[in-house]
Structure 1
Amino acid sequence: MKQQTFSQLNTHWRFRYCHGGTLRRSSKGRGARPLSSKDPIHLVFKINKAAVRSGLRSPRSFNLLRVLLKKYSRKFFVRVEQFSIQTDHIHLLVRGSRRSSMQSFLRVVAGQFAQCLTDTFHQKNEGEKVWKHRPFSRVIKGYKPYRIVRDYIQLNEAEAWGRPYSKTRLRGLSEEQLRELWA
């Protein structure tokens, strides 16, 4: 009876499909990472700006990240449906066939990004940590949340290419704005 009280943390229902990021600071994101072999997963990797001064949008880093994503998605049979590389974070919308392959993909991609960005293959990195937090992941359940995440990632990519930023952008876009976004 006593062991059952320590078994699983009771998390709020809004966070049952989320893990990592700033949720790790509270008890909300400390359980096992929820992964799904049927549903898409939204991943966010956030870098520490002090560790990678040039940012992720520099030509070298941008091309390196695209090559690594392609290489390891093939190796672990993970389909990257959409990605957006910003100066300080990366958004991915992925699907995997097995939980173990998704875990390996997350682990290897994060490690290879960090090693390649800091050029530390043979020696230990003595500087700042590359990642600000653990990767944030959220399992997307249903078509409407999938469309919202897909449009959000596309909007982030458009803003990286020069679209003006608006604070009210997440309150919903009109049909005309969505067509413009995907054009």
Structure 2
Amino acid sequence: MKHARQQTFSVLNTHWKHRYCHGGALRKSSHGRCARPLSTKDPLHLVFKVNKAAVKNGLRHPRNFGLINILLKKYSRRFHVKVEQFSIQTDHIHLLLRGSRRSGLQSFFRVVAGQFAQVLTDTFSRKHEGVKVWKYRPFSRVVKGFQSYKIVRDYIQLNELEAAGRPYSKTRLRGLREAQLRELWI
């Protein structure tokens, strides 16, 4: 009896720019409607985007901030996912993580999104009526290569500094000199 071959990423009919991306606003276009690419060798950049109307006081509120930190630690240990870096903004969360198994990563995405939604809306015993908590499905991107990894790492660090009070600039990552990049990590 023959066994079916496992699908590879090359079989998927995806635009080359979005080959390693899934979710978020991509889901609205036909390019983002394929299987979520995951890798156990490369890090993942994950973004959860919240509807501002669904969450009181935003994600940076001390209560919400503390609960999100607790949930991240708890479920990263349970599903063997290493959270290398994270940044919690008022309306979204950036995570840079690595997983040892594909099933662990999928479970982590599912459970963390569900637990965040339940904690943020206090709906453990009753059904949530009103606006959806998540604006989009979680955006994920497999980060290929060291240069891409450095860019994502610096981007998440810059987001955290902006949440803490650094002024925002549209061209904040373009043309940063080495000294300015070192300044991010001080």
The verdict on a shared fold, with TM-score over 0.5 as the criterion, is yes
Confirm or deny that 1:84 pairs with 2:84.
no
Runs of 4+ in 1 over 4 A off after TM superposition: none
TM-score, scaled relative to structure 1: 0.94
Residue of structure 2 in register with 1:56 after alignment? 59
Residue of structure 2 in register with 1:117 after alignment? 120
Confirm or deny that 1:151 pairs with 2:164.
no
Deviation at 1:53, TM superposition (A): 2.6
Residue of structure 1 in register with 2:139 after alignment? 136
CA distance in 1, matches of 2:63, 2:117: 14
Q: CA RMSD in A?
A: 0.9
Instruction: Find 1:174's aligned residue among 168, 174, 177.
Output: 177
Aligned-residue sequence identity (percent) comes to 77
Q: Deviations over 1:32-89 (max 9, x none)?
A: 0000011000000000001013100000000000000000000000000000000000
Larger mean Cα displacement after TM superposition, 150-159 or 172-181:
172-181
CA distance in 2, matches of 1:163, 1:61: 21
> Are the aligned partners of 1:46 and 1:133 in contact in 2 as well (CA < 8 Å)?
yes
> Are the aligned partners of 1:9 and 1:27 in contact in 2 as well (CA < 8 Å)?
no
Amino acid in structure 1 at the alignment position of 2:50: I
CA distance in 2, matches of 1:33, 1:152: 22
CA distance in 2, matches of 1:171, 1:15: 22
* Count of matched residue pairs: 176
Deviation at 1:170, TM superposition (A): 2.5
Instruction: Find 1:29's aligned residue among 24, 28, 32.
Output: 32
Q: Deviations over 1:2-39 (max 9, x none)?
A: xxxxxx76221010000000000001110000000110
Q: Which runs of 5+ in 1 are unaligned?
A: 1-7
TM-score, scaled relative to structure 2: 0.93
Q: Give SS of 1:170's match.
A: coil
Residue of structure 2 in register with 1:5 after alignment? none
CA distance in 2, matches of 1:142, 1:36: 13
Confirm or deny that 1:96 pairs with 2:99.
yes
> Are the aligned partners of 1:39 and 1:139 in contact in 2 as well (CA < 8 Å)?
yes
Instruction: Find 1:75's aligned residue among 75, 78, 86.
Output: 78
